[in-house]
Amino acid sequence: MKKLVIFGVGLIGGSVALALKKAGIDTHIVGVGRQADSLQSALDLGVIDEASSNVADAVQNADLILIAAPVAQTAAILQSIKPHLSNNTVITDAGSTKGDVLTSASNILGDQLSQFIGGHPIAGAEKSGVTAAMADLYINKNVVITPTAHTATHAIQSAKTLWETCGAKVSEMSAETHDSIFASVSHLPHLLAFALVDDIAARPNAAQLFSFAASGFRDFTRIAGSSPEMWRDISMANKTALLGELNAYEAELNKLKTLLKNDDGTGLQALFERASHARNAWAHGKK
């Protein structure tokens, strides 16, 4: 891979660039973004080798294009690169939803859809921007790629090689399966964290409440410090699956309310024990 173009040189895209540099890969990395100052920071930090505001020049002779911008920008980026794509360029993305991205790629790329493969690195932090990028962000982390029957074999291999070079473990699944899974284990927890903080912040005694919040509150709400723009886009893109998850969670909350109303300590403990066992088993398996 002689030339990599990254649209969105923030935490995700910047960490890919740093990981490749740390691995000693001799790739010319071009950054494209909406904000000139952010691109200049990426240059100053040595994250990218070149910054460009001209899409045609940026993607010329590119071996791989990585779209690491918020998912709502994906369609516009695909439209901007489509007239300048060679038949050898592979396009992938790093968005947290895949069904909407695949639909955009299919509608926009047409007969070049075979060159596109969706991707999602299961890694990140509550901080955003290129200054938060880390060379080791993807080491031993999962990355999901979502090929279809139309995806070229070399595109699948290019995406796998990219993420494996960054230190990640790559899995394949359909876009529909991906969106269903991550609605429950990623997107829903973020919505709950945002909602809890928003609720407390809106109360008349918010300052007093926050002054007594400790590690439990900090751990539960850490992800509410994530990018609001990114999570707005994710939530809207995966709306159908998320509504189903919110309904399921609402049913679980109603179960808790019923147990409390009925002074059912035995039922509460049984629920807590089930949850504790499942959480500890998962945590042990992650070590």
Residues in the chain, total: 287
Contact by Cβ (8 Å): 11, 33 = no
In sequence order, the β-bridge partners of residue 116 are: 91
Distance from C-alpha of 135 to C-alpha of 147, rounded to nearest angstrom: 26
Distance from C-alpha of 68 to C-alpha of 9, rounded to nearest angstrom: 7
For the four alpha carbons of 251, 253, 256 and 257, in that order, the dihedral sign comes to negative
Distance from C-alpha of 152 to C-alpha of 154, rounded to nearest angstrom: 5
pLDDT at 126: 62
Query: In 214-259, which ranges are E strands?
Result: none
Distance from C-alpha of 222 to C-alpha of 1, rounded to nearest angstrom: 37
pLDDT at 62: 97
> Which stretches in the chain have pLDDT values below 70?
125-126, 287
What pTM value is reported for the model? 0.87
pLDDT at 124: 74
Give whole-number Cα distances, 155 to 43, 89, 160, 162, in Å: 28, 9, 9, 11
pLDDT at 287: 55
pLDDT at 285: 83
Model pLDDT for residues 117-143, shown as the tens digit of each residue: 999 999 876 677 899 999 999 999 999
Comparing CA positions, the residue from 221, 214, 38, 16 lying closest to residue 133 is: 16
pLDDT at 129: 86
For the chain, give the mean pLDDT: 95
Rg (CA), the chain: 21
Tokens 């179960």, located at residue: 255
List Cβ neighbours of 100 (8 Å cut-off, separation of 6 or more).
71, 74, 237, 238
Comparing CA positions, the residue from 64, 68, 58, 50 lying closest to residue 12 is: 68
